[in-house]
Amino acid sequence: MTSPYLISRERFVPAPPESVFDLLARPAMHSVIDGSGTVGDARPNGPARLAPGAAFGMDMKMGVPYKIRNTVTEFDEGRRIAWRHSGGHVWRYLLEPADGGTLVTEQWDARHVRHRVMYRIMGVTRRHPESLEQTLEKLAEHFTVR
């Protein structure tokens, strides 16, 4: 069953799962791979590397600057990491070893958000597929350029 509130994209990344996971687990790197153009710097006093239950903040900008707080909700070292935004939706990365690298799946999951219809009204569900694809492209380029 498909849902407009679960958007998922995948891409091969030419790096081992451990290296990809390490990048994803460092909030300071999120703006480097962001394909939406909305993610800024990690907020001060947060963890340098995420762990189960860790809370971290990010500077954001969609027209106007704002700050968000996230909490790590899923964590399986080298395989899966996800955090829930203060608005309730989840950003998730699933990593599968592949020949010569990693198959990375990025997901935006708002299936359990109470007022999720607002995301459709605001156009979020239409914009996210392209943003996820661009993020995964930047992630792959990060390891290709090295």
The DSSP secondary structure of 38-65, one letter per residue, reads -EEEEPTTS-SS--TT-EEEEEEEESEE
- Write down the pLDDT at residue 92: 98
Q: Which parts of the chain register pLDDT below 50?
A: none
Q: With the CA atoms of 61, 89, 130 and 46 taken in that order, what torsion angle do they form, in degrees rounded to the nearest 10?
A: 50
Radius of gyration of the chain (CA): 15
Predicted TM-score of the model (pTM):
0.92
Torsion sign, CA atoms 43, 130, 107, 100? negative
Number of domains in the chain: 1
- Write down the pLDDT at residue 106: 98
Task: Please report, as a single letter, which amino acid is at residue 18.
Answer: E
- Write down the pLDDT at residue 145: 61
- Write down the pLDDT at residue 81: 98
Domain residues for the domain of 10 are 6-145
Domain presence at residue 1: no
- Write down the pLDDT at residue 128: 80
Domain presence at residue 24: yes
Which CATH number goes with the domain that contains 71?
Answer: 3.30.530.20
